[in-house]
Structures are given as structure tokens and as C-alpha cells.
Structure 1
Amino acid sequence: MKTVTRLALVGAVILAGAGGYFFGSGGLHVPGGNGVVASAGSAGADTAKPAKKLLYYRNPMGLPDTSPTPKKDPMGMDYIAVYEGGADEEAAAPGQVRISTQKIQKMGVRTEAAQLRMLDKTVRAVGRIEPDERRLYTIAPKFDGYVERLFVNVTGQAVTRGQPMFEVYSAELVSAQREYAIAAQGVAALKDAGSQAQTGMQQLAQSSLLRLKNWDIS
């Protein structure tokens, strides 16, 4: 009975030692094999991280051109793969500022390829139009009278130099015109008269003409 008990104890010691060696070495070696067949401790450490989802391939020069498959740009440069979350995690290069896609969309940023063309855009906004005060003129006749007819009767109507704007009647103007006409006829009639008579009539004609000029009548 004692011999059986001793054999059982020796067998237990041998199994315990074998088990400790197995777990301490990290696996089971098969004779003639190439290495570890199984390892409980390394199973969790060797678990691979989940791969990021490929979104698209973008132009290497920053142009708004993407491709679902790898390709090259016209200069032979490979398109850059963009992964999910990769743009936000990628650090900006020195001297550069990186803005997230959400902020770019909120700011309304638009990019286009550089090219030679006219830059124009229709902008609809509320404004106020005011006339150029340097080109405004006030017409104030220098004689008494009244307007008989208007040729420009709409505010803002365009006019040109020399265009008639209105017709006026003035008793003073009519009197001065008749006085000048009579004096001019007298100068012509007295061309054969004496010098004193001609001089007096010429002075009368000149004074009548000067009166009209002072009223800006030509």
C-alpha cells in the first residue's frame, strides 16, 4: 500500500513539472517541427488591429479631383490614399494650417484649378444710388420771365450739350432784343452819314448787345 502511494506522489510531481515547463516555455514543441504549435499567452497579443476603411484617392497637388481606384496625375505623381479618419489625425506640415472638412463646408470654401480667365460674379445686394454732385447744375435765368414750353420734363432724363431745354418769355428780354435790332439797323443806315452820327449809333448798338450778353443771351 505504501509502495502504491509513493508511486502516485512521484507521478504527480512529474506531471506538475511537465506542466510548468510547458507554460513557462510558451508552447508545445513537436519533434521535427518548425516551432510553437499553440500558445495561450500570445493569442491575445497577436490579434491584429482592425484596418481603416479606404475612402478614396485624392490628387497629390491638392486639386478637387478624387478617384475610387489608384491612378496617376498628368505629371506622373501617384494619387494619395485617404482613409476614414485619416485626414483629421494627420498632422499638418510646418508652415501649414489644416482645417477639418466640416469647417471647410461651414465656411463655404471653394477650390478650383488655376487657369487664365475673367473673374466675374453676380452679386445681388441692397444699395443706394446717388447722383454725382460735381455734375449737377442749377439753371437760374438772369431776367424776369416764365417758362412757356419744356423739352426736358422727366427727372433723370439725359441731355447733351447744345440741346434746348425750355422756352421762356420775358418782357425785358424782348425789349432788349428789339433795342439791339433797331441799333444794328441804324448803324447800317448811317454808314454814309457823318462820323459823329455813326459813333453814337454804334455805341447804342454795343450797349444793347452788352445788355443781352449780361443775361447770357448770345
Structure 2
Amino acid sequence: MKRLTWLILLTALPWLIAGCGKGKETTADKGRQEVGKQEVKKADDMDMKSLTMESIQKEGKVQEVAPGTVQITPERQQLIGVKIGNVEMKPLEKVIRTVGRVDYDEKRIVTVSLKIGGWIEDLYVDFTGRFVRKGEPLLTIYSPELVSTQEEYLVALQAKKSLTKSPFPEVARSGSSLVESAKRRLKLWDITDEEIQKLEESGKSKKTLTLYSPFSGFVLEKSAYKGMNVMPGMALYKLADLSIV
């Protein structure tokens, strides 16, 4: 019986010794862990006090941000092409490239035509694309009707001088009415007062009529040619002011 008891004690003794040693090690480990945690906490507290924005960015530590702030990783920033710069006050501008068509302003296009028929003798503006100024001569035209009207005007002037000497007022006034009628016809054909004055001074009718540009602009279309027979109302030039398009 005694032998059996000693045998059991000898068998269980290693287990008892191992259990006691393990308990001591566990208690020692727990003590060391608690001390380590306290030291880490103190170190963290000291680090947080000494941290600056630069140190956080350098060390890559996480920082608290305001609500609504968007954070993008450096890899994502490089992928989407984020650029960082200083905040400046400047007007917002954006360049828009598109396709369009530049055309003439219809309110700045003039068609030049004659109010009398005849033949073009001299052509001063003889190609499209040329720039002409207002009052610049475009062409000269020979018109038998124009020549006869000038002759009528000169005759009316001579008659007026003779009739003004008449003792009868009605006869004197008739001479003035003939002159005004012939002069009105010349003006209807765009004969200027200056040209009529020259006609009165010279006393001789002109064979040709000079057509002047009524507008400053570029020649878009030209249908006039030297020696061409033209009719009243025929479009000879189309001019456009390209200062505004």
C-alpha cells in the first residue's frame, strides 16, 4: 500500500512542478505587459505633444480632418493628375474651341446698279476682293439718253436767260420750270450737283457718266465688263463692309 502511494506521488510530481513554474511565468509575463503598455502610452503622449503638421506628413501618420474633407492617396493623386498650388484671386476663364462659320453682315452689303442704260467704256474697279472707298470711281458709261438730257438742260438754261427779259411773268416763270425739270431728270440718274455745275460752266454735254461708289467696302461680286451693254437696274457690283462680320 505504501509502495503504491509513493509511486503515485512520484508520477504526479513532475506535473505539479511544471504547473507551478507555468503559473509563475504567466504572472511575470502579465506584469511585464502592463509595464510595457504604460511605457508605450507615455511615449505616445509625449509624441502627440511634440507632433507638428510637417512631422505628421513626413512620418505618414494619420491625422484628424474636418468633416467633409476628402483625402486622396498619393497613388490616386498621381493617377488622376492632381496639381497643388497656392490659392490666388484671379478671374475664372475657360477656352472653348468650336467649329463655326464667319459670314457677312447682311446690313452692311450694298448692291451698285445704274438707273440708266448704256455701254461701259472705262472700268476702274475690275476684280473682286478689292477694297473701294466711298466716292471712288467705279466705271464710266456712255448713254445716248443721258447726252440728250444734258443737251435739254443746256437749252433750258439758254431759254431761261431769254425768257427772263419777257414783260410777261408767266413766260419768265416757264423758262425756270424747264430748267428745273431737266435738272431733276439728271439727279434721278445720280448726276451730282458738282457735275451739273460743271455742265453749266462748260456749256457742253458730257459723252459719258461716271459711276461712283456709294459705300466703303470690299468687292464681293462684279458683273461689269468693259464694253458691256447695261440696262437700268442691272446689278454691277456687290460691296460689303467687313469691319463687322
AA at the equivalent of 2:16: I
Shift in CA distance, 10/113, structure 1 to aligned 2, threshold 3 Å: closer
Task: Give me the TM-score of the superposition, normalised by structure 1.
Answer: 0.53
Structure 1 equivalent of residue 138 of structure 2: 165
Separation in 1 of the partners of 2:185 and 2:101?
45
Aligned with 1:138: secondary structure?
strand
- Hey, what does 1:63 align to over in structure 2? none
Preserved contact between residue 92 and residue 98 of structure 1 (Cα < 8 Å): no
8 A Cα contact 1:151 1:165, kept in partner = yes
How far apart, in 2, do the equivalents of 1:167 and 1:80 lie? 90
Which structure features the higher share of helix residues? 2
Distance 1:138 1:91, change over 3 A: farther
Separation in structure 1 between the aligned mates of residue 87 and residue 107 of structure 2, nearest angstrom: 45
- Compared with structure 1, are the counterparts of its residues 117 and 24 closer, same or farther at alpha carbon in structure 2 (3 Å cutoff)? closer
One-letter amino acid of the structure 1 residue matched with residue 136 of structure 2? Q
Amino acid at match of 2:138: M
Q: Is the 8 A contact 1:179 1:208 kept in 2?
A: yes
Match of 2:149 in 1: 176
Contact 1:183–1:205 (Cα < 8 Å) also in 2: yes
* Structure 1 residue 98, shift from structure 2 partner: 7.5
Q: Distance in 2 between matches of 1:166 and 1:187?
A: 33
Residue 9 of structure 1 is matched in structure 2 by 11
Distance 1:83 1:17, change over 3 A: closer
Check the 8 A contact 2:120/2:139 in 1, yes or no: yes
1:146 aligns with 2:148: no
**Is residue 176 of structure 2 the alignment partner of residue 198 of structure 1?**
no
Residue 80 of structure 1: how far off its partner (Å)? 8.4
- C-alpha distance 7-82 of structure 1, shift in aligned 2 (>3 A): closer
Please provide the CA RMSD for this pair: 4.5
- Aligned residue pairs, count: 166
Aligned to 1:207, which of 173, 176, 181?
A: 181
Tell me: higher relative CO, structure 1 or 2? Use CA pairs within 8 A at least 6 residues apart. Answer: 2
In structure 1, list runs of 5 or more residues that go unmatched: 29-34, 43-57, 59-69, 71-78
Of residues 33, 36, 60, the one that matches 2:32 is 36
Contact 2:123/2:140 (<8 A) preserved: yes
Within 1, Cα distance between the matches of 2:151 and 2:85? 78
1:81–1:164 distance in 2 versus 1, CA, 3 Å: farther
1:68-87 to 2 correspondence within 5 Å? 70=54, 81=57
The Cα offsets for residues 121-144 of structure 1, whole Å up to 9 and x where unpaired, read as: 6x7765422110011111221111
Task: Map residues 104-123 of structure 1 onto 2, 5 A cutoff.
Answer: 104-105=80-81, 113-115=87-89
Please give the secondary structure, in 1, of the residue aligned with 2:137.
coil
Q: Which secondary structure does the structure 2 equivalent of 1:139 belong to?
A: strand
**2:20 aligned with 1:18, yes or no?**
yes
Assess, with a 3 A threshold, how the Cα gap between structure 1 residues 154 and 184 changes in structure 2: closer, same or farther. Answer: same
Distance across 2 between alignment mates of 1:204 and 1:101: 94
Letter in 2 for 1:36: R
**Would you say the 8 A contact 1:152–1:165 is kept in 2?**
yes
Deviations 1:28-59, CA, capped at 9 Å, x for gaps: 8xxxxxx428xxxx9xxxxxxxxxxxxxxx9x
